Amino acid sequence: MKLRHARAVAVFTLVVVALTGARRGGDGGCDDDHDSSGSSGGSGGGVDVVETTVPPLPTDTAGVPTSDIPVTTAPPARKGKVTSVKGEVRIVDCVVGKPVDSTGIITFKYEVTNGNSDMAANYVGRLMAVDPDGTLRANGQVVQYQIQPGGSWQGESKGTFGIGPGQKAPSAKSCKVGEVTKTNVPATG
């Protein structure tokens, strides 16, 4: 009875030591000089305890390649003039074609001028032919990207109009600029 009790106490002690880690010396650290193949056991049986030592990571960076890429910072923001889109898109000419089978083509010729001093701009908008009573007769569009600061661009857009009973073709004077969105973007070059 006593031998069985002693054997159970020995096995319990070895399991506790294995699970919590065997401490050597007074500092509580691992002993690097210990042979990792050691085992312990009691009379008539036991549990093997194996310790593994992981080598420390190197703290010396000598011989480690470094990057030759220079570290750069963003340039400071420029404080140039940024203008609204008002007046920057204008109709240069409006050509109303002769209708065929109650349908005609209107050509909107326009110019975009970027009033910014530092930022380029993208323009997306609408051109219209509108009768004096407010009836929309034809649509065109403005789509111009990367107009440089102070730069101008001329373009044209075509739209169709219909002629109903008792209606006339829209006049060239009916062409106007509708809603236009200007988006400021970094200038290139």
Give the pair of three-digit tokens for residue 61: 């960076």
Instruction: Show Cβ contacts of residue 119 under 8 Å, excluding neighbours closer than 6 positions.
Output: 80, 82, 149, 184, 185, 186, 187
Could you read off the pLDDT of 63-73 as tens digits, one per residue? 545 445 555 44
Give the pair of three-digit tokens for residue 108: 């909107």
The three-state secondary structure class of 2 is helix
Whole-model pTM over 0.75: no
Specify the pLDDT at position 80: 75
Do 121 and 185 meet the contact criterion of CB atoms below 8 Å apart?
yes
Give the C-alpha separation, 147 to 83, whole Å.
13
Could you read off the pLDDT of 9-51 as tens digits, one per residue? 444 444 444 444 544 444 444 444 444 444 444 444 454 444 4
Give the C-alpha separation, 90 to 15, whole Å.
89
